[in-house]
Amino acid sequence: MDKQESRAAGTLAAVFSVRLLGLFMIYPVFADYAQGLQGATAYTIGLALGIYGLSQGLLQIPFGLISDRVGRKSMIVLGFVLFIIGSVIAALSGSIWGVVVGRVLQGAGAVGSVILALVADLTSEDNRTKAMATVGITIGVAFMVAVVAGPIAASLIGVSGIFWLMAVLGFVGIAITLFMVPQPEASVSHRDAQAVPAMLGRVLKDPELLRLDFGIFALHAMLTASFLVVPDLLDRSLGLTAHNQWIVYLPVLVVSVVVMVPAIIVAEKYRHMKGVLVAAIAAMAVAEIVLMLAGTNVAGLLIALTVFFAGFNVMEASLPSLVTKTAPALAKGTASGVYSSSQFIGIFMGGVFGGWAHKVAGDPAVFALSAAVALVWLGLAVTMRQPSYLSTRLVRIDGTGDTEKLAERLRQVPGVAEAVVIAEEKLAYLKVDSRAYDQEAAVSATQAA
């Protein structure tokens, strides 16, 4: 990437991370804190933890589409304003229902799709994948930092202080957006980075994409539900209050990353993606069953948490790659948008049904519900097709000539499995095997008479 593209990727990754950092920091400490709020029950605590996912999931795609018309930065600033207002309401509220309202507004600032669209505006077709990867890595790092930092921050400023910190981070996000992120020359729709309404039907009818959508839904539903009861288990088994539990989360996450790296290498480099995926889901299912049966057994609890987070991190890194491999050339952005919305709806459902299970039958019921979700997901993964190991490439064209003949020439290029030419966008969308793809031959094909 050139200097401008690197700046765009770095600053937009920072915008993404300051928002996610606050949202994730609340996870390991919220259940303990919420018990002291007026009107709190196991169910309403789960609702409050997860409900931001509902508003975010529903508004994610619309925010991106609206930003095509009114501008990316305007929508990002609006999203952060909603996020700040929601954070302040949650910080000031002494009632669980006030926190619910605040969390709904936090999620309503659904700027994720807008940020990705702005990344596309500010990068060339050749470097867009690298820029998107930078943002994706930031999301994973933000989650791991937040899970460790949340308990530490709660011990220093309290959980209400974390909500105030979210508001401050919202202002930081606005400042970065307005003063550090480059201004794009124009905001246009990018099929490889944004949802296209005309492609939604095709994406929602694709059984392989739906399996992946269910996968990210299940992954975050299990995570949210588990955080409703794990902090209390750590307190009862190890005598660690929620404020001190970073002592457990830090080594657990470090080990999970050590496991994740070779697993991703095996999946991507040696093309054993399905095997790694099935193994990771099975590991998480076993971890949830152990958590259900272990009670306050320290060894069982720590081993199960480590196995769960190892599987979680493997899936968090693998599933977006699988969506890219599976989506049609013209529907990558749409498939990613539906996938992202499924993740946030999973957060909401995990909070709601996890809270309900906890209220009805206590900790074991939450883990039993999560294990059942994992087993359903495992069945879907076992029966999925082997992934194609294809990636999306964009090649610029001059927009003239016979587009069908150009597409046919591109299909003859080594490594190209699919080629669609959109004359008005002056782009050819390709699905390619990166091991065999010849970029120079593709460019030459677009210039042939």
Which amino acid would we find at residue 332?
A: K
Nearest alpha-carbon partner for 340 in 139, 127, 172: 139
What does residue 148 show for φ and ψ, rounded to 5 degrees? -80, -40
Q: pLDDT by residue (tens digit) across 333-347?
A: 999 999 999 999 999
- Determine the angle formed by the axes of helices 128-179 and 298-326, rounding to 10 degrees: 100
Side-chain half-sphere of 296: how many Cα atoms within 13 Å? 9
Q: Check if the beta carbon of residue 107 is closer than 8 Å to that of residue 90.
A: no
Q: In which band, very low, low, confident or very high, does the pLDDT at 177 lie, cut at 50, 70 and 90?
A: very high
Predicted local confidence at residue 280, as pLDDT: 97
Q: Indicate the pTM of the whole model.
A: 0.95
Predicted local confidence at residue 135, as pLDDT: 87
Neighbours of 7 (CB within 10 A): 15
Query: What would the 3-class secondary structure string for 122-159 be?
Result: CCCCCCHHHHHHHHHHHHHHHHHHHHHHHHHHHHHHHH
Rounded to whole angstroms, the Cα distance separating 72 from 29 reads 33
Torsion angle defined by CA atoms of residues 85, 91, 92 and 94, in that order, rounded to the nearest 10 degrees: 130
CATH of domain 1-190: 1.20.1250.20
| 218-389 shares the fold of 1-190 | yes
Predicted local confidence at residue 193, as pLDDT: 87
Predicted local confidence at residue 357, as pLDDT: 97
Predicted local confidence at residue 402, as pLDDT: 82
Q: Check if the beta carbon of residue 25 is closer than 8 Å to that of residue 153.
A: yes
Q: Check if the beta carbon of residue 356 is closer than 8 Å to that of residue 347.
A: no
The sign of the CA dihedral 74, 76, 81, 82 is positive
**pLDDT of 230 strictly over 90:** yes
What does residue 27 show for φ and ψ, rounded to 5 degrees? -55, -55
**Where do the domains of the chain lie?**
1-190, 218-389, 391-447
Predicted local confidence at residue 140, as pLDDT: 87
Predicted local confidence at residue 190, as pLDDT: 85
**pLDDT of 390 strictly over 60:** yes
Taken as a whole, the chain contains a residue count of: 449
Q: pLDDT by residue (tens digit) across 24-41?
A: 999 999 999 999 999 999
Summary mean pLDDT of the chain: 94
For residue 195, give the H/E element and its range.
Answer: none
**pLDDT of 449 strictly over 60:** no
Residues near 317 by beta carbon (within 8 Å), at least 6 away in sequence: 140, 260, 264
Side-chain half-sphere of 430: how many Cα atoms within 13 Å? 31
Quote the Cα angle for 375-377-379, to 5°. 70
Nearest alpha-carbon partner for 180 in 30, 14, 314, 41: 14
Nearest alpha-carbon partner for 181 in 191, 169, 193, 173: 173
List C-alpha distances in Å: 96 to 103, 223, 355: 10, 21, 13
Task: Choose which CATH entry (3.90.220.20, 3.30.70.100, 3.40.50.12140, 3.40.50.970) describes domain 391-447.
Answer: 3.30.70.100
Report, as an integer, the average pLDDT of 315-321.
92
Report, as an integer, the average pLDDT of 394-413.
87
Q: Check if the beta carbon of residue 108 is closer than 8 Å to that of residue 59.
A: yes
Of 306 and 426, the one with more pLDDT: 306
Nearest alpha-carbon partner for 264 in 273, 254, 251: 273
Which single residue is written with the structure tokens 């229902």? Answer: 97
- Determine the angle formed by the axes of helices 128-179 and 72-92, rounding to 10 degrees: 70
Predicted local confidence at residue 98, as pLDDT: 97
For residue 353, what are the β-bridge partners?
A: none
CATH of domain 218-389: 1.20.1250.20
Share of the chain above pLDDT 90, in %: 83
Rounded to whole angstroms, the Cα distance separating 387 from 186 reads 35
Rounded to whole angstroms, the Cα distance separating 42 from 31 reads 9
Which single residue is written with the structure tokens 């997860």? Answer: 50
Three-class SS state of 344: helix
Report, as an integer, the average pLDDT of 409-416.
94
Q: Check if the beta carbon of residue 392 is closer than 8 Å to that of residue 434.
A: no
Report, as an integer, the average pLDDT of 74-96.
97
Query: What would the 3-class secondary structure string for 23-82 be?
Result: HHHCHHHHHHHHCCCECCCHHHHHHHHHCHHHHHHHHHHHHHHHHHHHCHHHHHHHHHHH
Nearest alpha-carbon partner for 224 in 101, 370, 97, 98: 370
How far does CA 254 lie from the centroid of its chain?
20
